[in-house]
Structures are given as C-alpha cells and as structure tokens.
Amino acid sequence: MDLTAAILEAMSDSVSAVGRTAPVADRLARLVHLARTAGGARYAALGVAGPDRDFTHFITEGMDAELMARIGPLPRTHGLLALVLTEGVTIRSDDIGSDPRFGWWPDAHPQMRAFVGVPVRSGGEVVAAYYLADRPGEGGFADEEVKRVELLAAHTGVAIELSRLWDERLELAVIDDRNRVAAELHDSVSQTLFSIALMSDAAAELATADPPQARVVLGQVRELARDAGAELREIIFELRPPSLDDDGLAGALTKQVGVLRRIHRGQLTFSSSGERRVRPRVEREVLRIAQEAIGNAVRHSGGADIAVTLGITDAVRLTVADHGPGFDPNAPENRTRHLGLTTMDERARAIGGSLVIASEPGNGTTVALEVPVAG
C-alpha cells in the first residue's frame, strides 16, 4: 500500500471511529503514527489546540511511557510549537536548538535537531499541528517528506472536528440526563421524603397523646418510604439500561418491564414477536422511547393495567397502552411541562420512524411507534 492510500485508510478509520467510545487520543493515535512514518521521523506528535490556544491533547509517538512521565504535563504553546499555530504555516528547522524562535526544553526532554511543524486546519482555522523531530542521517526533513505530512494534515482537520462535535454531543447528552434525573428526584422522591418528614413529626407528637393513631401514621410513613425506594430504583434502572448487545431489544424490554412490574400496583404485561436484529441505533432509540413511555404509564396511570407489545418484521412496532385517566397530548402545556413527549417524537423522527400518542381524558393512553427496518 502506498503512502497516499495509507493516509486515506487512516482517515477513514479515524472518521468512522467517531461515535464509538474510544477517547479522542485513541482515535487520532494512528494518524500520529502515519505522520511519523511519512516524515521518516524519530519523534512525532499531534497537538490539538483549545479555545485559549493551549493544547487540549498532545499525542506523541517515539517516547515511552517512562520518559513521558519524567517530562511532565502537556507542553505549553510556546516557541516554535506556538508559531505553527499562530502563523498557520509549515515551519522547518535543521537545528531547532540554535533556531532563534526556539523556546526551551523541559529537563527530561530528549535533545532534538531537525524539526518540522505542519498546521492542521478546519473551516479556515488552525485547530492543531503535527510536529516531527529528528530523522536518520544529517540534515533536516526532505521536501517530499514534508509534502506527505502536509497531505495528511489537509485531511486531519475533518477527523478532529468530527471528534469535537461528537464529544460535545455526548456532553450535552450527559447534561440532559442530569437535568432529567434532577427533575425526577424533585418531582417524585424529594416530595415523598418531605411528606415522610412531616408525618414523622406528627407521629412523634401523637406517640404519647394517641398511641393508636401514632401507629397508623407510622404505617403511612412506612408505605411512603417504600414508594420512595421504588422510585429511586426506577430512576437508577433508567440510568443503567440492560445491554442491547447481549440481550437484543426484546430481551432488554423484558428486563425493563420485569423491574417496573415490581413497583407498579396494576398489571404490567409484555409480549414480543420476531427475533430479527436491526440497526444498533434503531434498537437504542426504540429502547429509550419505550423506557419513557412505560415510565410515564407507571407514573400517571394511577395503577391501571399497562400492556407493552413489540413486533419486528419489516418494521419495528412498539405499543405501550394503559387504562389510566388519559390526557390531552395536543395541549400546549403538556408539551412544555412534559418534555418526554417531545423527546420521544424527536427520537422517532431521528431514526426515520413515526410516533402517535392517542389519549383523551378518561380513556387511557396509547403510545405507538413504527420504524421501518430498511434504510
């Protein structure tokens, strides 16, 4: 495989890695290796600049872990390292130590001579730079070697930008989950605990004056404490869903319903047909929609029966139906106060599906999702 093909393959691997759980440094490490190979260098690094122009990542090759530990923390953007970022041009030096633009070495840093720095751009902005140092023989890097690294740099900006966008998306997802959990804790568990505190005070006052009534109140406190524990288990289970990889969508929903069945006062059933596996993203989003719909039914159905069905043929079809009090799904206040309705709809559209929420006061609620398997 020639170098150009290797660069394209490495870029494909790096871009396709976006969305997987590997850290940014692991996603880009192969590119650093390729830069070192392209330039025939002993040492290579990729410095990714943050908003303040300091490095957020500095991925190296050619130095072992022990040497890196002795050198210390990430380098600051000074000297020639900074110059590549600020001027946005390739900088070469045959003897970096005698170059007037050179800054300084940390005490444990190996002494280097030949140097080349190549900027990496994204959207016209310099977002990173490749740094190569030392090569076999005397003299600096050859023109052809520098051109190879510049070719690699021209494509690296795409991978860095996609990695950043994905990490921002993950961060927003974490924030969204934190806000949702905070709202759940405030709306349910904290209110229950507040009631427990008030009723405990009342039981203490009745303990001497009216012991039989105090026992009644303590029994109510016990029931409230059990309810709070059940609500907490439900929230924790939503944060740690079953493994789709191991269980498949039907298996994951079986476990989800099994947990919620223990805390729901009414009958909660689940039936499924079709063992076909579908795209991982579809399985993930359908599970999240199901969790939201079943959770809403458990919370708002007043203990009424709930039926969950899943079918996978030419499409994934999920239905969550309860015989609870129902509501008006088109009322503006329900969309603004209960963001779960909007979130379910957005998740469905994101995977090419359709979501229908059928409900009216006094007639229960049915959530129906359909997602084509093909596409």
pLDDT at 20 over 50: no
Pairwise CA distance, residues 333 & 93, whole Å: 66
**Model pLDDT for residues 254-288, shown as the tens digit of each residue:** 888 887 777 677 899 999 998 778 888 888 889 88
Residue 331's pLDDT is 73
pLDDT at 16 over 50: no
DSSP secondary-structure letter at 326? -
The mean pLDDT value for 43-67 works out to 81
Amino acid symbol at 322? D
What sign results for the dihedral spanned by CA atoms 171, 172, 173, 177? positive
Residue 22's pLDDT is 45
pLDDT at 191 over 70: no
Q: 3-state DSSP call for residue 89?
A: coil
**Model pLDDT for residues 306-358, shown as the tens digit of each residue:** 999 999 998 999 999 999 998 888 776 555 445 577 778 888 988 899 999 99
CB atoms within 10 A of CB 97: 11
The mean pLDDT value for 184-190 works out to 65
Residue 248's pLDDT is 84
Helices (H), 129-210: 143-184, 190-209
Residue 295's pLDDT is 83
The band of 3, judged by pLDDT with boundaries at 50, 70 and 90, is low
Cα distances (angstroms) measured from residue 375 to each of 31, 314, 341, 343, 371: 32, 11, 25, 22, 10
Pairwise CA distance, residues 316 & 364, whole Å: 23
Residue 368's pLDDT is 96
Residue 272's pLDDT is 92
Residue 76's pLDDT is 63
CA atoms within 13 A on the CB side of 157: 14
Which percentage of the chain shows pLDDT scores above 90?
A: 17
Which percentage of the chain shows pLDDT scores above 70?
A: 75
With b for 16 or more beta-carbon neighbours within 10 A and e for fewer, the 62-72 pattern comes to: bbeeeeeeebe
Pairwise CA distance, residues 130 & 31, whole Å: 10
One of 3.90.950.20, 3.40.1010.10, 3.30.450.20, 3.30.450.40 is the CATH number of 3-168, namely 3.30.450.40
The band of 116, judged by pLDDT with boundaries at 50, 70 and 90, is very high
Least confident residue range of 22-26, 91-95, 192-196, 249-253? 22-26
Instruction: Pull the structure tokens for residue 43.
Output: 């040492």
Residue 365's pLDDT is 94
Instruction: Pull the structure tokens for residue 248.
Output: 């498949």
Which range scores top for mean pLDDT: 6-15, 76-85, 321-330?
Answer: 321-330
List of residues 6+ apart from 342 with CB closer than 8 A: 335
Q: What is the mean pLDDT of the chain?
A: 79
Q: 3-state DSSP call for residue 13?
A: helix
Which range scores top for mean pLDDT: 57-61, 64-68, 75-79, 314-318?
Answer: 314-318
The closest of 83, 144, 148, 154 to 117, measured between CA atoms, is 83
**Model pLDDT for residues 130-182, shown as the tens digit of each residue:** 999 998 776 789 898 999 899 888 888 877 777 666 666 656 666 666 666 66
Pairwise CA distance, residues 250 & 275, whole Å: 8
**Model pLDDT for residues 99-114, shown as the tens digit of each residue:** 777 777 777 788 888 9
The mean pLDDT value for 170-199 works out to 68
Pairwise CA distance, residues 363 & 160, whole Å: 52
Pairwise CA distance, residues 261 & 242, whole Å: 16
pLDDT at 363 over 80: yes
Residue 306's pLDDT is 94
Amino acid symbol at 305? D
The band of 19, judged by pLDDT with boundaries at 50, 70 and 90, is very low
One of 3.60.40.10, 3.30.565.10, 3.30.1370.60, 3.90.340.10 is the CATH number of 243-375, namely 3.30.565.10
- Which residue did the predictor score with more confidence, 241 or 212? 212
- Looking at the chain, the domain(s) classified CATH 3.30.565.10 span 243-375
Helices (H), the chain: 3-17, 24-39, 65-71, 79-87, 143-184, 190-209, 211-239, 244-261, 280-300, 332-337, 339-350
Residue 353's pLDDT is 92
Q: Is the distance from CB of 183 to CB of 292 less than 8 angstroms?
A: no
Pairwise CA distance, residues 193 & 206, whole Å: 20
- Looking at the chain, the domain(s) classified CATH 3.30.450.40 span 3-168
In the numeric block, the tokens 């170098």 are attached to: 3
